[in-house]
Chain A
Amino acid sequence: MNISSGEPQAPRAVKASSARPMTGNEAFARGAWEAGVKVGAAYPGTPSTEIMENLATYPASDLTAQWSTNEKVACDVAIGASFAGVRALTAMKHVGLNVASDALMSMTYIGANGGFVLIVCDDPGIHSSQNEQDSRYYSRLAMVPTLEPSDAQEALDYTKLAFDLSERFESPIMVRGTTRLCHTRSLVRVGERREDAPKGFVENPDRNVMMPSNARASHPRLLERERNFEEFLNDSNLIRWEPGDTKVGVISLSTPYTYVKEVIPEASVLKLGCSYPLPSQIIRDFAASVERLFVVEELEPLVENEVRAMGLTIDGKKFFPRVGELSPELVREGFVAAGVLEPEDEQPGFDVTDTPRPPVMCAGCPHISSYLSLRALDARVMGDIGCYTLAAVHPLRSIDTCVAMGSSIGNAIGLAKAGGERRPIVATIGDSTMLHSGIPALIDAVYNDVDITVILLDNQITAMTGGQNHAATGKTLRGDRVHRIDFVDLIKAIGVKWVRRVDSYDLSAMLKTFREATEYQGVAVVISDRPCVLDPVKIRGERMEVDAASCVACQACMNLGCPAIMWSDEWYDGHHKVRIDPDGCIGCSLCAQVCPTNSILAISN
């Protein structure tokens, strides 16, 4: 433990001159590199994506960095590297850990040979996810020691440390980030890379082969490791006691710690760099040193409950929300509610109006026509994770469900097996998602002979997370050309008899193909075939413009939800005519295809 001086202090002594600004994700990657990591594997997922992307910016001679098919595969790849005695990293978002957890649950029994670090990034506030789960439950479930950096410097330092700890405790180590940490840039002092000679594979079947007898023997080791780690924490810099006013003591960790320092700098603070296991004795001592004890943590009251379980009196979620991302304002509000701080004078706000600007699909997004067609077919659509989830809202409004990565096909199978659905049952799934976890479900559909249609929205990239390659783009994380999976071959090999590719920018072909697919008895797969407008190659057709003279303001084109189409200042029949933003338009011509007046034409001359 590190007991600071009584003065409020910065968590670092970073001199601007010797440091560089880095995001949390950049720092995670740097930390891993400095720690001498040899193998990194991940599946993209906001907010964790840039960790592996940044790791790949370090020399290929230093390390391997790769996109894996899904988080479980990535985790297994890292486990394999650890078996080989090298340091290995896997990174994922919180829901990715659900996928990887199966491997992790065993890895924790086996323990690391080469250092094994798993960075998991939670998304409090759900900026870009399907839930707000708190990954620290996995720490306890898997009994994986979990470090919680609060800024980029700590992200680097803790990651580096995690590898050491992994090897020292022969345990996987989890480092937890949050969206705020991952995407905040702050000054970071960097170090050099250490290169360790590979330890090599250690033949130890009793430990490495998780069969019941071996597993039974391993479980007690976990408990022992938990105790050892807690002891380690007592002498570690990961726990920092910052003495202050003894009337109020605050236990905090991760980014909320910075909010506490911002809002109530005078308080005594116990900063936890590790959320599992907890240093129980230090906590007791700290509690004893202050009159009132608070814990400020994001999402679930994990620390709070464990402290309370120690028999201590502590307040946490009573004052600080359990839902969403914390902020200085919320932390302040909590302390005001707790009677610690005085409320600020209510200042009258500025008198202005708000213009809603929700996320929209891109102009020319090839997904648009698929959902327009599905809407016309009046299909029951099982959605999936990707940009196309936006088709659930206005104006496309054509996705009925969205559960989790790769769930759409399985959901459709269940819906069909349940019977009673009179509409055509369709699963829509992206290319990356299909490879991630759609294939087993598709096999299931063929195997169980179900009458569903699968629309494979092949935009040839992992678009939602910012354009990452995958096995069907023919390029690796580092941009090397590799074998490109052919979806038609793959799907046929699974046993799907009815597979067809269709141009996403040909609306009627879409509609016709979709109709035929839904009328086919059995599993039919339609591949919507146009690349994402942003990646990897920017496609531009002739841009379109509206002939205002003939526009009758029916606004049928507005149904595309294309952000380049908006109202003009001209009117017809009480409605706004439309115009097209020439900078936004990529010339997909879908609007021209739905225009009932032929008023949308290419600016070709």
Chain B
Amino acid sequence: MDEISADSFNIRDYLRLELFPHFLCPGCGHGIALRALLWAIHELGIDKNDLAIVSGIGCSGRTGAYIDANTFHVTHGRPLAFATGLALARPDLEVVVITGDGDCLAIGGNHLIHACRRNLNLTCMMLNNEVYGMTGGQASPTTSATRYTTTTQSGSIEPVFDACALAAAAGAGFVGREVTIQTPALKNLLRDAIAHKGFSFVEVLSDCTEIFGRKNDLGESPEMIMTQKSTMRPASYGVVGGNIVDEPFRATNLKTGILTRTDRPEYGAAYRAHAAGIRAARKS
């Protein structure tokens, strides 16, 4: 009869209320993801004074400003680079990167793979809405084939990244994917991602109703977020490479939940230990 309660989480404690209402379009999944992130922060008991949010450019990047923490809205594609410096210089801070599919995978793709490889204690939340929303709806590295955007007016023909597979292949210690409609699951995933010592990559399937959904006849926000969920299949929570719910009933494609969790040496700690060894050797 364990009574767990969500009572203590009041999102307003984590928001810069004077900036509201926020600038996101109606039904934008980024807002839901933001809630999940702050909820996870709350559950982990992270003091917002010790929380650093580094975000890139785009709709995703703008969300950081609404968080009442140390927020850094940096250059396009580079939040992981900034965060790397910040986290190495300030291991006492909890550094979370908010980025988008274009920010993270296109212009910032190089930083992503190296951040994964380096395995520094960072959490990267990539809000994937399949489109460059802020610039008016151009195709991104995750825009599915046949989708219409302002730069794929006859339907996209480019293959897409599976960002999670990319991150895992690049060596990220923790990789997960979740949809916004599963807010508590997303919260749990982010919570585990932040708690994970090492580089954590979380892809959030967000929806861009106004610019992308309309153009592709994907329905309004409620339907979009529901569709996202149903095209996913959950990996067994907490089990690495766990089984998935689909046979014999579901035709699905991407997995959700924790996809990879390995304990590789965390770069920051490894570096500090290495440096301490060097200093000790010099003294003796």
Contact = CB atoms under 8 A, between A and B. Distances in A.
Interface residues of A, number: 39
Contacts of A511: 223, 226-227
A541 B227 contact: no
Contacts of A600: 245
Contacts of A505: 249-250
Contacts of B89: none
A512 B5 contact: no
A232 B189 CA distance: 83
A517 to B, nearest CB: 13
Contact of B188 (A550, A574, A593): A550
Contact of B183 (A547, A572, A596): A596
A541 B247 contact: yes
Contact of A573 (B4, B237, B242): B4
Interface string B178-211: 1001111100100000000000000000000000
Nearest to B184: A597
B229 interface: yes
A511 to B, nearest CB: 6
B239 to A, nearest CB: 8
Contacts of B3: 571-572, 574
B26 interface: no
B243 A552 contact: no
Interface string B205-234: 000000000000001001100110111001
Interface string A579-605: 000000001110011011111111011
B243 A593 contact: no
A589 B237 contact: no
B79 interface: no
B247 to A, nearest CB: 7
Interface of A is mostly: loop
A542 B234 CA distance: 14
Given A376-B222, A572-B4, A599 B249 contact: no
Contact of B182 (A595, A604, A605): A595
B257 interface: yes
B249 A601 contact: no
B6 interface: yes
A515 B247 CA distance: 26
A230 interface: no
Contacts of B248: 539, 541
Interface residues of B, number: 38
Interface-central residue, B2, B222, B231, B257, by most chain A CB under 10 Å? B2
A245 interface: no
B7 interface: yes
Interface in B228-284: 229-231, 234, 236-238, 242-251, 256-257
Given A552-B6, A589-B245, 20 more contacts: A503-B249, A505-B249, A508-B229, A509-B230, A511-B226, A547-B238, A552-B184, A570-B1, A570-B2, A571-B3, A572-B3, A572-B4, A572-B6, A593-B229, A597-B184, A597-B185, A598-B257, A601-B237, A602-B244, A602-B245
Interface of B: 1-7, 178, 181-185, 188, 219, 222-223, 226-227, 229-231, 234, 236-238, 242-251, 256-257
Interface of A: 376, 503, 505-509, 511-512, 515, 539, 541-542, 544, 547, 550, 552, 554, 569-574, 587-589, 592-593, 595-602, 604-605
17 contacts: A507-B226, A512-B219, A512-B227, A541-B247, A570-B1, A571-B1, A573-B4, A573-B7, A588-B249, A589-B246, A589-B250, A592-B245, A596-B181, A597-B188, A598-B237, A601-B237, A605-B236
